[in-house]
A and B are shown apart, each in its own frame.
Chain A
Amino acid sequence: GAVVSQHPSRVICKSGTSVKIECRSLDFQATTMFWYRQFPKQSLMLMATSNEGSKATYEQGVEKDKFLINHASLTLSTLTVTSAHPEDSSFYICSARLAGVGGELFFGEGSRLTVL
C-alpha cells in the first residue's frame, strides 16, 4: 500500500522553542492531509485538515497560531508547534488521502513530542 512517512519520530525540546514535524506521502500525491493528536490511552483527536496550496482548516478548540500547518506541495505537509509548553507533549499523527473519490487514508508512524 501507499506509504506516509513522518519525521522526526521523536523529538525533545525546551519550553518556548518551536518544533516542526514533517509528513510526506512517499509514493503518491495527497491533495489532503490530516493532523491528529493522540493522548495516552485516548483516541486520535483531529486537529486540522490540510489542503495543498490553501490554508488549513482547524477543528474547534485548536489554536491555529500555535499549531501552524503548511501544505506546500502534493507530497509534504508540516506541523509546527510554536512556543511549545509541556502540555503540548503528545503523539502527533498525520494521514494522507489518496486522491480520487473515496480515496483511502494512509497514516504516518507518528511523532512523539516531549517538551521539557
Chain B
Amino acid sequence: GDSVTQMEGPVTLSEEAFLTINCTYTATGYPSLFWYVQYPGEGLQLLLKATKADDKGSNKGFEATYRKETTSFHLEKGSVQVSDSAVYFCALPDRGSTLGRLYFGRGTQLTVWP
C-alpha cells in the first residue's frame, strides 16, 4: 500500500543553518503530499502541501518539491530559526478512503540552537 518514509532524527542545527529533511513515498499514481509540523505541547499543523507532480509547496520559509522521478518530497529551509524547533511529519492521503485519512512518516525531531 501507499506509504511515506522519513529520515530518522533527531536533527540538531545552529540558527541560520540550512535544513533538509528527506521524505520519499511509495504509491501508485501521484497522490497529494503534505508536511505537518508539531510544536512542543501543540497539535499537528499543516505546514505545506503539493497536490501534483512538480508542484512546490511553501510556507514560513519552508519549501518542498514534489519530484516524481525520485518519488521524493524533501523539506528544506535556507535559514532555520530557534522557533523552528519541532517535530516534522511527511504524510500522504489514503486514496482508498473518501474520508481524508492520512498516512504519516515517523516524524523528524528538529532542534535549533541559538
Contacts and interface: CB of A to CB of B under 8 A. Distances in A.
- Is the contact region of chain B dominated by helix, strand, or loop, or is it mixed? loop
A47 to B, nearest CB: 11
Contact of B89 (A32, A41, A43, A97): A43
B107 A43 contact: yes
A41 B101 CA distance: 21
Nearest to A103: B100
Contacts, number: 50
Given A43-B105, A43-B106, A43-B107, A49 B99 contact: yes
Contacts of B101: 34, 46, 49
Interface string A22-42: 000000000010100000011
A51 B99 CA distance: 9
Nearest to B97: A49
B100 A109 contact: no
B44 interface: yes
Interface residues of A, number: 25
A93 interface: yes
Contacts of B19: none
Given A43-B106, A46-B101, A107 B45 contact: yes
B104 interface: yes
A8 B22 CA distance: 34
Interface centre among A103, A105, A110 (most CB of B within 10 A): A105
A103 B104 CA distance: 18
B102 A105 contact: yes
A109 B45 CA distance: 10
Interface of B: 36, 41-46, 89, 97, 99-107
